[in-house]
Chain A
Amino acid sequence: MSNVFNWQLGREMDFPYDAAYPDQQFAFIFNLNRCIGCQSCTMACKSTWTFSKGQEAMWWNNVETKPYGGYPHHWDVKTLDLLEKANPGGQTWSGTPKDLKAPYGEFKGKTIFEAAKTNISPEGAQKALGYLPTDEEWAAPNRYEDNPTGSEKSQRGQMSFTSGEVSAQHKTWFFYLARICNHCSYPACLAACPRNAGYKRPEDGIVLVDQERCRGYRKCMEACPYKKTFYRSTTRTSEKCIGCFPRVEGRDQASGGLPMQTRCMSACVGHIRLQGLVQLNKDGTWKEDRQNPLYYLIHVAKVALPLYPQFGTEPNGYYIPPRWVPRPYLRQMFGPGVDAAIERYSVPDRELLAVLQLFGKDQRICFRYEIKKGPKVFETQIRGRKFEMFDDTIIGYSKDGTKIVETKIEEPFHIRPDKHANSI
């Protein structure tokens, strides 16, 4: 075991390997307020990478309906349960937030690596606390997710729906949680592999499984708390999201050599997604890069938060939490940063509103943005706070300075010339 610094937890933690950080890290933000659960991302991924024999039950990208849904079934509840059992009542946060090194304060509980010592599997202590889902749990994504109250536990046929009438009126809430591999800074999948088949690319931090080395131990599937590695029955090896690395490297023809966002990001109908590459310091914290949209949203505006940071893998997937969901649920899922994030997102300031326009605008990766100020066009009160809207212009640039996006806050107004018969 080594000691590594996990900035999302604001402290050092145990990890089976010494810290080693890539030059830049693949990271992404999903704005859950905007996901409509259309599964375009899911199918974009499937039709690109997992359409072959043996990959039928493999969903590198999935979108599940919370709170009831999960793929594999109940993945997060099961892992949270294991952690709670390992450290009853102790999974708490406290301490003062510090920029970059402890933006959410300090996590006082146990990560999956720290709790693993007490979780003895047949081979002794696990590397990371976890469980291996059954094939059935993998078999069907989105099972029963949108049923108001379950037929799952009741009888077959006409005797189903025994308790359908007891729904709590007007208390219903749900949201869609889109998920891919988080290309974690401290990947549990990698930590648990007895054959060192998992590795993290030094050039962009994308986590891959070497198919030549993998011998199907399924330890990664047991250890990954997000359950994002999958067993392929035909090759009997584990496969996982590859972060569309050829696109990220700029090898997709359509990008003209510029780094490009993954398929799922580009296909998103709801424009909820923004993926990029961020610069890291030697200690794994984020290098200041004020005009990088991810850096801004995560470390300056602090509206985007890691998914289940308490697991301890330092996931590189971040989420703008949905405003309407009960806060205790969100705090459990995204940590103590939730309240401030929602507060800022609900009444966005001038810069935040502009940066949010970058989501889904172009397939290429935006490394830097610039805002050109425009006139004030609107003013109102939102829950007692003043909100002003300016018709600013935001411009996004690729790695080499090529301009890839230019868009305004207000929708452009197009006037059709009157030479057409149907012009009015």
Chain B
Amino acid sequence: MHLRYDDDFVEAAAFMCASGRRHGATALQVRRFHSDRETCYAQSDVDERNAAFFKVHLAWFREWGLEHLLTGFMGEYPLLPGALKVLAFRQARGRNEEGAELYVSTGKVRNAMVALRMDRLERDAPLLRFLRHEFMHLHDMVDPAFGYSPQVHLPTHNQTQQRITRERYRLLWDITIDGRLTQAGRETMAGHGQHQAIFERAFSFWPEEKRRHVFESHWSDAQPAHLELLALAADPRDLSHAQEPLPGGSCPLCHFPTFEWVSVGGLAPDSLASIRAHFPHWTPDQGACKRCAEMYEVAGKFELPATMVV
């Protein structure tokens, strides 16, 4: 596994040390750092100058112990060094940009990129909490036992459902990660209580006892698996196994969740024909929501494309 850094990442990190925002640099070191940098300005070729700066910044990045800080605990993630060709670090310009990403090329070469905000480098403990969490994501992603796949939704889902599923999935995954880290005696990004509160909000439709049980079983799950997390995230109400339309299930026509199912038997033949024209595989036992029923009723009357009626 090769380590790579973005130019501006090492530069900003070195300046964190030189300015004292991160402790540990001595006055003499800072003077040498600046005089090393000064020589680079003499390079007139832009590419050569950038390369020279990178060399100086990286040398001081190492001298000030940042490389060791970022990767010194890699031994806790035994699969990563063998699985990744490159582990790269870059600056994140905001919280939403932060995190670890795995990139798999066509030749199945796996590279990872960790993005972090520079102020994380100010103090060791919060930085390590962040890194351990993100490395665990990566470790899971390359672990065959976890069985990760980037497709975090069901094929039948619409965009909204996909987004909600992804959010629930990440939430569940984060619980198992911080649960395992806690088990291993590490400090975590969020504790048991914080995770539980978020979980309770996201799965508030479950009875309390079920919530507690599912949360605890994930918090203490030593070997979580992608497919299990996905199944729970994608269909927490277990609606896909229901034989008939259930309150809150999604309408097979518009895919919006609905609490207002119509009795299909009561629909006019024109409406049924209109629905079948648009959904050849639809059968009346799948049901339809009230909105769709109304729309196709009008569409049936006017012989217009359903999309024009709105």
Contact = CB atoms under 8 A, between A and B. Distances in A.
Interface of A: 120-124, 131-132, 134-137, 139-140, 143, 152, 155-159, 194, 215-218, 222, 233, 236
10 contacts: A122-B19, A123-B27, A123-B30, A135-B8, A156-B96, A159-B198, A216-B37, A222-B19, A236-B41, A236-B53
Contacts of A134: 12, 16, 21, 117-119
Interface of B is mostly: helix
Nearest to B92: A136
A132 to B, nearest CB: 4
B18 A122 contact: yes
Interface of B: 8, 12, 15-21, 25-27, 29-31, 34, 37-38, 40-41, 53, 91-96, 117-119, 163-164, 167, 170-171, 198, 201-202
A134 B38 CA distance: 21
A111 to B, nearest CB: 20
B93 A158 contact: no
A70 to B, nearest CB: 15
Chain A to chain B: the 7 pairs with minimum beta-carbon distance, closest first: A121-B20, A132-B19, A134-B118, A139-B93, A157-B167, A122-B25, A122-B30
Nearest to B38: A215
Most buried by B among A124, A143, A155: A155
Contacts of A222: 19
A230 to B, nearest CB: 14
A306 B164 CA distance: 51
Contacts of A131: 19, 21
B161 to A, nearest CB: 12
B119 A136 contact: yes
A142 to B, nearest CB: 13
A346 B17 CA distance: 49
Given A134-B119, A136-B118, A122 B27 contact: yes
Contacts of A218: 15, 19
Contacts of A121: 19-20
Given A156-B96, A216-B37, A122 B15 contact: no
Contacts of B16: 132, 134
A356 B41 CA distance: 49
A139 B115 CA distance: 15
A216 B202 CA distance: 48
Contacts of B37: 215-216, 236
Contacts of B12: 134-135
A135 B167 contact: no
A123 to B, nearest CB: 5
Contacts of B21: 131-132, 134
Given A122-B17, A134-B118, 5 more contacts: A121-B19, A132-B16, A134-B16, A158-B164, A158-B167
Contacts of A157: 163, 167, 170
Contacts of A120: 20
